[in-house]
């Protein structure tokens, strides 16, 4: 594989001075909403694939892809970051985490190790002139590879990307995506402390891509039991599954639930379960309540059940047969039902991610625009009492 070229600041650790600067809302006329990444600004034609996490210090890290020349999933794409240390009121200047010339550096999927405070950023890479369909059909010059960068100082600096492909991707697989979105750390059960990253892959060995979606696509997970030092391949979920997010079920056993983009053309999400920390998964099953237009979505735990609080999961996606109507839902029964629903953005919208601050504030990062979903990546804050009130 072509040797990865990185900027000079990747010698050792990237040292970047971070200065908070205000970012003003530009598209949504809501006081709690900021246009954090705007297409056509700062040297990028478009911004895609948002991911947001809260560090152990309460800092918000907002990642995305900066696409230089077009909106396609391959080409000259850089991986970017903005930080906020004041709950999303102000944000740092745009930071380049990975720029490999005209090649594709993308699919950010960060996870926080709450034991060490370190942040692991899982990513993918391919040659810029290798297109997704060519990689799926295995007629590209190279293939899609899996990488990691780490930060031990709250996201200020990042290590040079390290290739994880040998332990996280089967040789017969073609396309591969980490996330997009976030990973989790298991809090209960025999695999407590394990870092889990949701992923997807193609295993189509033919030379054609089916017209109706990708029947030979699957979801899977990768994991680390040594605080992100090494990573292993977990189980797969097929058929017709794709971009996914993972959440831990509040059963005390560390059971995992995978929420997935489905190509069964039934316009709803699919779920699968793992009872062994992601080593194996059940087959997928439809979740008709979670309407989707065949798109990425995000799911996160808001609260664990205690004597004072009840269990709560949050789900965010464009709840429609088309990519519009960005909607957040809440479940109090581990994803069985979703009685709370609120539209955040009624217009064109697509990919999303969520993070919770220590004070309980819900932070949403999602693609949205007036004419099409990829005009901006919006950051929106929600107060829990406003979402959960009946």
Q: Catalytic residues, which ones?
A: 73, 351, 367
Q: Dump the DSSP string for 81-107.
A: EEEESSTTSEEEPPEEEE--TTSEEEE
381 touches 363 (CB < 8 A): yes
E strand residue ranges, 113-180: 119-126, 145-151, 162-163, 176-178
CA quadruple 215, 257, 235, 233: dihedral, nearest 10: 110
What is the torsion angle, in degrees rounded to the nearest 10, for the CA atoms of residue 378, residue 381, residue 386 and residue 387? 60
- DSSP designation for 284: P
Alpha carbon 92 to chain centroid, angstroms: 21
Distances (CA, A) of 147 to 116, 165, 208, 250: 20, 7, 28, 30
The two three-digit tokens of residue 23, written as one number: 């970012």
For residues 15 and 104, give the distance between their C-alpha atoms in angstroms, rounded to a whole number.
23
222: phi then psi, degrees, rounded to nearest 5: -125, 155
Instruction: Tell me the pairing of strands 33-38 and 145-151.
Output: unpaired
For 317-378, the DSSP string reads EE-SSSSEEEEEEEESSTTS---EEEEEEEEEEEEEEEEE-TT--EEEEEEE-SSSTTSEEE
The Cα 202–Cα 214 span in angstroms is 8
Residue 72 DSSP symbol: S
272 within 8 A of 259, measured Cβ to Cβ: no
For residues 148 and 179, what is the distance between their CA atoms, to the nearest angstrom? 13
Radius of gyration of the chain (CA): 19
């Amino acid at each position: 594989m072509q040797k990865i070229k990185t900027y000079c600041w990747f010698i050792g650790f990237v040292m970047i001075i971070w200065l908070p600067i205000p970012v003003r809302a530009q598209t949504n006329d809501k006081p709690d909403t900021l246009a954090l990444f705007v297409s056509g600004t700062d040297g990028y034609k478009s911004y895609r694939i948002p991911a947001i996490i809260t560090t152990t210090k309460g800092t918000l890290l907002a990642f995305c892809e900066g696409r230089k020349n077009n909106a396609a999933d391959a080409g000259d794409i850089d991986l970017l970051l903005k930080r906020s240390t004041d709950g999303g009121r102000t944000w740092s200047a745009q930071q380049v985490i990975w720029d490999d010339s005209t090649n594709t550096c993308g699919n950010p999927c960060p996870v926080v190790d709450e034991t060490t405070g370190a942040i692991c950023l899982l990513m993918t890479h391919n040659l810029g002139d290798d297109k997704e369909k060519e990689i799926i059909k295995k007629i590209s010059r190279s293939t899609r590879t899996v990488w990691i960068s780490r930060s031990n100082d709250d996201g200020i600096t990042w290590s040079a990307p390290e290739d994880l492909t040998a332990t996280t991707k089967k040789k017969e697989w073609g396309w591969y995506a980490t996330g997009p979105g976030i990973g989790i750390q298991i809090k209960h059960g025999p695999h407590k402390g394990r870092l889990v990253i949701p992923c997807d892959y193609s295993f189509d060995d033919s030379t054609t891509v089916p017209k109706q979606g990708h029947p030979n696509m699957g979801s899977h997970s990768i994991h680390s039991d040594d605080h992100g030092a090494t990573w292993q391949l977990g189980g797969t979920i097929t058929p017709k599954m794709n971009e996914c997010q993972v959440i831990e079920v509040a059963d005390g056993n560390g059971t995992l639930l995978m929420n997935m983009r489905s190509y069964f053309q039934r316009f709803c999400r699919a779920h699968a379960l793992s009872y062994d920390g992601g080593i194996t998964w059940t087959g997928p099953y439809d979740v008709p309540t979670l309407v989707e237009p065949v798109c990425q979505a995000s799911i996160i735990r808001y609260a664990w059940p205690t004597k004072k609080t009840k269990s709560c999961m949050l789900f965010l996606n464009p709840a429609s047969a088309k990519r519009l109507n960005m909607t957040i839902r809440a479940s109090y029964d581990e994803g069985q039902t979703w009685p709370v629903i609120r539209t955040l953005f009624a217009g064109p919208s697509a990919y999303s991610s969520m993070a919770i601050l220590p004070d309980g504030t819900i932070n949403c990062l999602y693609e949205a625009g007036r004419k099409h979903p990829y005009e901006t990546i919006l950051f929106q804050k929600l107060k829990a009492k406003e979402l959960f009130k009946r």
